[in-house]
Chain A
Amino acid sequence: MSDTTQSGPVLAADGTPLKRSLHRALRIQKLRALMLIAPLLAFVLLTFIVPIGQMLFRSVENDIVANTLPKTVIALQDWDAASGQAPDEAVFAALAADLYVASNEKTHTRVGSRLNYETPGISSLFRKAGRKAKKWDVENDGPFKEQFIKIDDGWADPDVWRTIQTYSPKYTNGYFLNAADMQKGADGAEIRPESERIYITLFKRTLIMSLIITGACIVLAYPVAWILANLPSAKANLLMILVLLPFWTSLLVRTSAWKVMLQQQGVINDTLVWLGLVADDARLVMINNQLGTIIAMTHILLPFMILPMYSVMQTINPSYLRAAKSMGATNWTAFWRVYFPLSVPGIGAGSILVFILAIGYYITPELVGGTKGVFISNRIAFHISTSLNWGLAAALGTILLAVVLILYWAYDKIVGIDNVKLG
């Protein structure tokens, strides 16, 4: 002990150990930095991360059944779904008691529409039974089994009870199974019948078409960006406005303009017919299919590719090309071995931007995509605003987010995220 006090810690001018004093100074600095970014952090957290997290959480949340029908859920635990019989009076009595409470609080129809996502018909079972249950005297009006079946013989269907039993836990993987074209069958997860499979197809289509759109953007944007970067600045600015002008126009206007251009009685077809290149009765079908989506979205997303490419190309010193040529390279070799590798970071940045924007697009595919050119986001929008199946929408959204993150990770591994530059 005495040894340590003798060698002692180094002291600062005010007598506190230097180490501690340094710590305090650093802490104050860190705190100040944190205070500076605190407003932004709080803003992002409150308006972005928390709501998205809450929305994603809905993909597994399922407490509505257990909360609305607590007694039924417990009574139903002992029922064997494989028996092929509706449960006995005890379960029906529990349901009567739950429905009495729920219908007076008007929550019975809500659980009905939740379960209806899984088995069609349950919505009206609950709606009808709730109307009667509201007036029941739960103690004395039994037995209930017959009364339920009299209201609607759907209550005798073991499938209805199996659905209630399967979806009684507070958390479920049902939405994710549904999002992968599967369902909870009698013996666990199973593939849906072919007539109901859609989501895997849509995920694949979304990815493939987004890749095609990204590819088309690279091919179209590269020469434009090159010209922009190599013209004298007065002319380049003029051209830049031409690139940005459509960018400032409303998305809907641009999409509708493509309708006018591409439809069978549209500008392009009319011109081709007038030139005699296409017969009047064999006009080209360029809209309401995948081609329509690809053309319109490539046009709409093009500025997102041109701008990062342009800003990277601007930093490439033209003397490199001249140096290559002076050493005997042909135009092509000079471009391919010297210029192109230097412009790759711009392509990378543009591709990530365009691909991620494309994968989440829904207005343009909805308007020009017909049936074969719509994306997964169109289904997500449908489940959010029309079917109100937010759990399924959240599951689809979570999968889409995971796919994007995985692709980003793969991109980082293959190309390296340091190789991406916006300027």
Chain B
Amino acid sequence: MKAKLTAFAVTTALVAPAAIAEEMTIVSWGGAYSKSQQLAYHEPYTAKTGITIINDDSSAEAVAKIRAMNEAGNVTWDVVDVVASDAMRLCDEGLAEELDHDAVLAAAPDGTPASEDFGDLIVSDCFVPQIVYSTTFGYRTDMVGDTPPTSVCDIFDLEKYPGKRSLQKRPIDNMEWALYCDGVAKEDIYDVLGTPEGVERGLAKLDTIKDSVVWWTAGAETPQLLADGEVVMGSTFNGRLFSAIAEQNQPIGMLWDMQSFDLDGWIIPAGLSEERKQRALDYLYFATDTQRLADQAKYISYGPARKSSAPLVGKHASLGIDMAPHMPTDPANAGNVHIYDYEWWADNRDDLDAKFQAWLAK
């Protein structure tokens, strides 16, 4: 019996590393986004190294799951795709690996080090930026008459644009838009929001449209509500609107004014074995180089996070349309953008969320 057990242990010990060496688990958001990563990153990487990549569409619950795995001492994920604020949270909790960006990532083709090529987008030591996306508005072209909305403040104008609008069920972005439309200068928004009066002012502005708002929690809701004609305008991620407009030919127009830039990228969970960590780093080196990031933009309308990738963005892989004009970072769209303050929200998120939820429940 004992001999059998030892034999079993030896065989598993021999088999296990070999099995691990051939596959890695990459976590992302699923849907069109995961597909773009599959085509731009995973398939070329597998072709180059022979490593099988297992997709897990759990990014929406990634923070909680990584924490649970970490506490259980059994981290089964190798690379995880999260939004920047989640990356900060994971880094703060010691659940993601801190990285030296210049040492582990590829330099730009002209030799610019990675930290400069990504620039300010490296908002956390644990975070490797991948795309710039934005939360912005879409509107029904057939429900706004001859004067389509041009300003984010049209959201708050119920006389000019009667009907429901959909907003995300969280204070982030909505509070900033509310204050901006209440006359606060863009650069003062976070100073005002940091005071109790500022919070009240923002909520009072949202109060003016509260009865006409449908609150969403999943990114797919607004495109659906727009397609059904349930709402006349609504916020969501720009890539979702792009696919509703360009791929599904819905009567929807884009309102880019005060779009809220946000970032999505990779982290490596803390607590991996050295071997798995090296493999994850090798994947990141490959998947975040200049060409790979530009390739992803062929499949989805999110802007590559490297400056050096922008000139390489080409046409949509199946529709053949130029992708550059659909990027949130395109100069024509980025005339007036809202830059989201990660540090401020990391500090104030819990507090403001409690107030926002109490306001919603009233």
Q: Which residues of A contact B (CB under 8 A)?
A: 106-107, 109-110, 112-113, 116-117, 120-124, 127, 194-198, 201-202, 263-266, 288, 366, 370-372, 379, 384-390
List of A residues within 8 angstroms of B355 by Cβ: 195-196
When C-beta atoms are compared, the residue in chain A nearest to B166 turns out to be A288
Partner of A388, one of B93, B199, B360: B93
List of B residues within 8 angstroms of A288 by Cβ: 214-215
What is the CA–CA distance of A371 and B98 in the complex, to the nearest angstrom? 39
B112 to chain A, nearest CB (A): 25
List of B residues within 8 angstroms of A196 by Cβ: 354-355, 358
B interface residues, tally (CB under 8 Å)? 37
B49 to chain A, nearest CB (A): 30
List of B residues within 8 angstroms of A265 by Cβ: 228-230
List of A residues within 8 angstroms of B228 by Cβ: 263, 265-266
Query: Which B332-360 residues have C-beta < 8 A from chain A?
Result: 343, 346-355, 357-360
Contacts A120-B351, A389-B350; A113 near B89 (Cβ below 8 A) = yes
List of B residues within 8 angstroms of A379 by Cβ: 357
Is there an interface contact between B347 and A120, defined as CB atoms closer than 8 Å? yes
Is there an interface contact between A107 and B357, defined as CB atoms closer than 8 Å? no
When C-beta atoms are compared, the residue in chain A nearest to B349 turns out to be A387
B64 at the interface (CB under 8 A from A): yes
Identify which of A121, A198, A265, A384 gathers the most chain B CB atoms within 10 Å of its CB. A198
List of A residues within 8 angstroms of B358 by Cβ: 194-198
Contacts A196-B354, A196-B355; A109 near B348 (Cβ below 8 A) = no
B67 at the interface (CB under 8 A from A): yes
List of A residues within 8 angstroms of B169 by Cβ: 371
Contacts A198-B358, A202-B361, A265-B228; A123 near B92 (Cβ below 8 A) = yes
Main secondary structure of the interface of B (DSSP, over half): helix
What is the CA–CA distance of A124 and B343 in the complex, to the nearest angstrom? 7
Partner of A117, one of B60, B94, B350: B350
B66 to chain A, nearest CB (A): 10
Partner of B347, one of A109, A110, A124, A264: A124
Contacts A110-B92, A263-B230; A385 near B350 (Cβ below 8 A) = no
5 contacts between A and B (CB under 8 A): A195-B200, A195-B359, A372-B361, A385-B61, A388-B93
List of B residues within 8 angstroms of A389 by Cβ: 350
What is the CA–CA distance of A50 and B361 in the complex, to the nearest angstrom? 35
Is there an interface contact between B230 and A388, defined as CB atoms closer than 8 Å? no
List of B residues within 8 angstroms of A116 by Cβ: 346-347, 350
B74 at the interface (CB under 8 A from A): no
B228 to chain A, nearest CB (A): 5
B91 at the interface (CB under 8 A from A): yes
Q: Name the 10 nearest CB pairs between A and B, nearest first.
A: A109-B92, A120-B351, A385-B64, A371-B360, A198-B358, A120-B348, A121-B347, A106-B94, A265-B229, A124-B347
What is the CA–CA distance of A265 and B228 in the complex, to the nearest angstrom? 7
B343 to chain A, nearest CB (A): 6
Is there an interface contact between A112 and B357, defined as CB atoms closer than 8 Å? no
Contacts A198-B354, A366-B217, A388-B63; A113 near B93 (Cβ below 8 A) = yes
What is the CA–CA distance of A266 and B229 in the complex, to the nearest angstrom? 10
What is the CA–CA distance of A116 and B352 in the complex, to the nearest angstrom? 12
What is the CA–CA distance of A379 and B199 in the complex, to the nearest angstrom? 21
List of B residues within 8 angstroms of A195 by Cβ: 199-200, 355, 358-359
Q: Which residues of B contact A (CB under 8 A)?
A: 60-61, 63-64, 67, 89, 91-94, 98, 164, 169, 199-200, 214-215, 217, 228-230, 343, 346-355, 357-361
What is the CA–CA distance of A294 and B63 in the complex, to the nearest angstrom? 32
Contacts A124-B347, A198-B361, A202-B361; A109 near B93 (Cβ below 8 A) = yes
Is there an interface contact between B349 and A110, defined as CB atoms closer than 8 Å? no
When C-beta atoms are compared, the residue in chain A nearest to B98 turns out to be A106
What is the CA–CA distance of A406 and B247 in the complex, to the nearest angstrom? 54
What is the CA–CA distance of A389 and B91 in the complex, to the nearest angstrom? 16
Is there an interface contact between A371 and B93, defined as CB atoms closer than 8 Å? no
When C-beta atoms are compared, the residue in chain A nearest to B214 turns out to be A288
List of B residues within 8 angstroms of A106 by Cβ: 94, 98
Is there an interface contact between B67 and A388, defined as CB atoms closer than 8 Å? yes
Identify which of A110, A121, A288, A371 gathers the most chain B CB atoms within 10 Å of its CB. A371
What is the CA–CA distance of A374 and B287 in the complex, to the nearest angstrom? 41
What is the CA–CA distance of A107 and B359 in the complex, to the nearest angstrom? 34
What is the CA–CA distance of A388 and B199 in the complex, to the nearest angstrom? 23
List of A residues within 8 angstroms of B348 by Cβ: 120-121
What is the CA–CA distance of A17 and B40 in the complex, to the nearest angstrom? 83
Partner of B64, one of A107, A124, A127, A388: A388
List of B residues within 8 angstroms of A202 by Cβ: 361
Is there an interface contact between A384 and B64, defined as CB atoms closer than 8 Å? yes
List of B residues within 8 angstroms of A371 by Cβ: 169, 215, 360-361
B355 to chain A, nearest CB (A): 5
**Known pairs A109-B93, A116-B350. 5 more at Cβ < 8 A?**
A123-B92, A202-B361, A265-B230, A266-B228, A387-B349
Is there an interface contact between B347 and A123, defined as CB atoms closer than 8 Å? yes
List of A residues within 8 angstroms of B351 by Cβ: 120
List of B residues within 8 angstroms of A386 by Cβ: 63-64
Is there an interface contact between B64 and A123, defined as CB atoms closer than 8 Å? no
Contacts A198-B354, A263-B230, A371-B361; A107 near B89 (Cβ below 8 A) = no
What is the CA–CA distance of A195 and B353 in the complex, to the nearest angstrom? 11
